[in-house]
Amino acid sequence: MEIKGVNLLLRPLRLSDAESLLRITKDKEVLEWLLLPSKLTINDIIKLIKKSKTSFKAGLYYDFAITYSGVIIGLISLKNVNHRVNNCELAYWIIKPYRGKGLASEAINLMLKFAFNKLRLNRVTAYVLAGNAASSLLLIKAGFKLEGLMRQSERKNGKYYDEQVFSILRRDFK
């Protein structure tokens, strides 16, 4: 399954993406805001891709490579899809050379269309580490509402971080 936008193609992860993803996950600016270990190996990435493929087929997680002109520039996911209550979590990142060009906004919009129109979900939640103003602004621009702050809800490298909680409902998506 592929999702085509004006500038982007979102597609499921492939084993052949492992080298590109490993290189991208070494980017310090990507790692700053993600809760990924800083020392991933190619085998770790291959395991993540295999797990992603299994979860995709089961309808639990939908991980998509964000591609621009055939190059992977980031990832976007619907995680913890719960069809009983029709909700999920959105997670995403794009590497620095492609930020500020409207591509993250396009990817988020494409995933919201997928969540609301294809999966028929009612609510999408996104968690942003406090201090990541760019990501918070992207979500607000996409129609998400800030619901609150979860204090010290995440831990990375021995340090606790607050998270902002955002959500959007199907009825509010345009």
Indicate the helix (H) or strand (E) that contains 128: strand 123-129
Q: Average pLDDT by consecutive 10-residue portion of the chain (174 residues)?
A: 96 94 80 70 91 91 96 95 96 90 97 97 96 93 97 89 96 91
Please state the domain extents for the chain.
Answer: 3-122
Residue in the block written with tokens 């406090």: 130
Q: Are 126 and 143 within 8 A, CB to CB?
A: no
Q: Rg of the chain over CA atoms, in angstroms?
A: 15
At the topology level of CATH, where does 3-122 sit? Answer: Aminopeptidase (3.40.630)
pLDDT of residue 96: 86
pTM as predicted: 0.92
